[in-house]
Structure 1
Amino acid sequence: MRVLVAGATGAIGRVLVPLLLEAGHQVTGISRTLAGAERVRRQGASAVQVDVLDRDGLRQAVAAAAPETVIHQLTDLSDADGKATDLLRRDGTRNLVDAARSAGVERIVAQSISWAYAPGESPADETVPLDIGAAQPRGGMVEGIRAMEEKAAEMDSSVPLRYGILYGPGTWYAPGGAVAAALAGDSDAHFLGSIEADLSVMSFVHVADAAGAAVAALDWPTGPVNIVDDEPAQAREWLPVLATALGLPAPEARSGRQSWARGASNGLARSRGWKPEHTTWRSGFAIQRA
C-alpha cells in the first residue's frame, strides 16, 4: 500500500516509518524541515519537505505522492506548545484532508487522544462523548480534538487513534524530557501540576505500541479507537514509579482528583487484534532508563 505519513519525524512517526516499510508498504514522509526530510530518507522512505499549514504546497506534495492512505501524526509537542498543536489539529487537518481528497485518497488514520472524554468514574470507552464545553484551558484542547476528528471524518474512511499519554523515546516522559524537568524542579514546567493530583487516573501507551497500532489501523473499520495499555492508574501510583525510573525524587502528593482524569479502556483495540508489547507503565517506565 502507498502510505503518506504527515508528522513522520515526531515521537510516533520516527518509529512508525520503519514499521510500515517492514510491513511492505511504500512510504512517503512529510516534514516541515530539510533535516527532517533527510532523516526520513535515511530510514529508507521517500520524503518531502512541506509545511502542512501551506495549503497549496501540501496539495502538490500529496498529489505527487499519490498515496492510498494518509496517516496523520501532526503535533507540535516537542516544546510543550499546546496552542501550536491545536492549530495543527484544526488548520493542519483541514489542509491535509482537502489535499488527500483532491488526490483521490479515501482513508485516513489520525492521532487523537484518550483524555478528552467527558468526566466519569470508570475508564472511558469509545461510546463516551468528548468533554465539549470544558473550562479553559482544557476546553481549547478538547475543541481542537473535536475539530480534528470531524474534519478527518469527511474522508470515506477515518480511524482516529485516541492514544494514551505517550512515553518512551522522544516524549515528555523520557529521560531529559519535560516531565523529568518538572520533577527536577524546573520552574517553567508547570503543566505537571494538572495531572499529579493523587486520585486522578491516566492511561499510558509506549510510542512503539502507538506506532504499531497505526500500522494495524490501516485495515480497521471507521471510527475512534482507544490505544492505551492495560492499566489505567492513579497519579499516586504511577508518578513515584516514573520518578524512580528517571532517577529523580517523587513530588509530594496533591490531594484531589481532576474529574476528567478517568483513564480509558483498550477493549475495542484488543478485539481487533492489537496487543501492546508494554502492557503496563510499571515495566515500561523502567526500560526508558535502561
Structure 2
Amino acid sequence: MSTTGGLTQRRRNVLSDGVEDYTNDERPQNESKPERSKNERADSDRDEEDDDSKGGKGPKLTLLEEVLLLGLKDAQGYLSFWNDNISYVLRGCILIELSLRNRIKTVMEIRKRPYAERLLEVIDERPTGEVLLDEALKLIKLDQQSISSWIDLLSGETWNIMKIGYQLKQVRERIAKGLVDKGVLRTEKRNFVLFDMATHPVADHSVKEELIRRAVDCLLGRGPPADRRTIAMVCAAYAANVLENALVNLGHAQREACFQKVDEMLQEHAGLTQKALSAGTTEVIAGVLSVYTKMDSIL
C-alpha cells in the first residue's frame, strides 16, 4: 500500500454530502441535551450487549475480530501473504466500532465537509474492555483530526514525525490473540523455512460459520434487514479482500450477485442516504466507508 499520504487512487464520486443533513450525531443545539445523553447511553449499552454477537450464544466479537476471522485460513491460521489491504481496513474498523459503542462522533460544523474529512471527537471516555479500542480512544482524545487522517495515522501512513506515535502496532497479531482468549482461535508455531511464526488456526468453527451465515444472508437478502454492524462488517470485508472467503460455497451467479450487492451497500452507506440513516449508520461509519470506496482493492 502506498505511503504517500495514504491511498492515492480514487474511485467514482461517492454520493454528495447534503448540507442540511442531521444525523444521530448532529442535532440542533436547542434539543434537550439530558434526554439525548440518556439515549446515547442506552444505545451504547445495547450495542455492547447485543450487537457484538448476533448469534447470541457465542463469544462477543468486535468488528475488527470479525473481519480478521473471515480472512484467516482455517487450518493454517494465517492471512494471505498477498493481502496488503486488511491492515488499513482494520484501522477503519476501530473507528466504526467506537462509533457503534457511542464513544466518538463527528464534530458539529456550520460548513459541512465530505464525511471522510469531518473531524472526530470523543464523547464518552469509558473503557470498552477491548485493549485496541481503548488505546485508539486515548489517542483520539489527544488530537482533533479527520476520519481519513485518523485511519492514516493509526496505520502509520504519515510523513509527520510528530504524529508517528499515533500508529497502532501489531494490530493483526493482537486481534488474533484476543480471539485466542475468547476461545475462537488457538496458537501454534509453524516453520516457514527461514523463520518460525506463531499461527492461529480456528478452534471454534461454529463462530466462523455463524459469521459467514450472517454475511451471506445479508448479501442475498435472506431473513430480516441486516443491522448496521453486519452491514459494516461485509463492507469492511469487501474492502479488505476477505469477503470472498465467506462466499466460496456459493455458485458463480450468487457470488456475482453478492459482490454487486455489497458494492451498492458500500456506496449507499458511504453517502449516508436516507436508507442508510434509517439503518442507524452514523457520520463516522459513512466517513470510514467512503475511505474504503477509494481503496485499490475495489477500484
Coarse TM-score class (shorter-chain normalised)? under 0.3
TM-score, scaled relative to structure 1: 0.25
Structure having the higher strand fraction is 1
Using CA pairs below 8 Å that are at least 6 residues apart, which structure has the higher relative contact order?
2
